Amino acid sequence: MASTLCPYCKKNSHVTPRWGRVYKQGTQFRVAATCDNCWKLLVGEGAGTDVTGNGYSSTESLDQVNLAVARYGRSLIWLPLAAETPEVVDVPQSIGRAAKEAYASAAVGNHMAAILMARTVIEATAKEKGITDGTLAAKINAMRDGQLIRPAIAAQAHEVRFAGNDMAHGDIDVAPEPVDAEEILALMGSVLTEVFQDPARLERIRAKRSGG
C-alpha cells in the first residue's frame, strides 16, 4: 500500500488507488487515489522495470495498477506536492511565515525560491530589530556591531546574502543543487536561533527558576 504526506490534511497517510494506467511498455504507471484520512484526491506517477510483473505494455486494470503500486510505490511522485516543514517557533509571525515558505520551497524542489526567501528572512530579521538603513550587508554588520549576533553568525548571514543576491539580481544561469538550498537554510536557521530563539529560551528558563 502506498503512503505519502497528504497536501490537504497534512497527515502521513496511506492512499487507496481508485483508477490507474500502466503504459510505456509496462515500465511506467499513473494512479488516481484518495487519502485514507481525508478522502481527497491525489494523482501519482511512478516507474519501474515491468511494473506489473506480467508483461503488460498498457492496461487500465486496477488490479495491475495496484500491483504496480505495491512493487514500486516508493517511486511515486504525488500531486499536488506536499511539503513537510520544521516548526519555526519564538520568532515574529511574519518572519516565521517567510522561513516556513523557504523550507517548503526547498522541500518541493524550488531551490532558487528557497534561497531567495532565506535572504528575505535575514533582511526582515534586521528590520525587526530596528535596523532599516543601508544595504543588506550593512544591516548584517549593524546587527553584529550591535551585539545582536556574534561575528561567526554574521559571517553565516553574509553567506545567505551572497547566495540570495544571485537570485535577487537575476544571475540564475547556474541552478542551485538541493544541498545548496539545504545549507543556506541551515545558515538562516542559525541567525533565527541567535536573534530570537535562544533569547526566548533563556527567558523561559529564567522565568521557571524565579517562579514567574
Over range 184-196, report the average pLDDT: 96
**What is the H or E stretch that residue 139 is in?**
helix 136-145
Residue ranges of domains in the chain? 3-79, 93-210
Question: Please, which pLDDT band fits residue 101 given cuts at 50, 70 and 90?
Answer: very high
Position 84 pLDDT exceeds 80:
no
What is the percent of the chain where pLDDT is above 70?
A: 97
Q: What is the CATH number of domain 93-210?
A: 1.20.120
Q: Quick one: angle between helices 93-107 and 111-128, nearest 10?
A: 170
What does the DSSP assignment read for 54-99?
Answer: S--SSB--HHHHHHHHHHHGGG-EEES---------SS-HHHHHHH
Those residues whose C-beta lies under 8 Å from the C-beta of residue 155, and which sit 6 or more positions away, are none
Determine the Cα–Cα distance for residues 14 and 6; give it in Å rounded to an integer.
9
pTM above 0.85, yes or no: no
Q: What is the mean pLDDT of the chain?
A: 89
Determine the Cα–Cα distance for residues 167 and 185; give it in Å rounded to an integer.
15
What pLDDT is attached to residue 83?
67
Those residues whose C-beta lies under 8 Å from the C-beta of residue 39, and which sit 6 or more positions away, are none
For residue 16, the tally of other CB atoms under 10 A from its CB is 15
Position 134 pLDDT exceeds 90:
yes
Q: Which CA distances in Å does 25 have to 59, 62, 75, 173, 181? A: 10, 17, 17, 36, 37
Contact 87, 61 (CB under 8 A): no
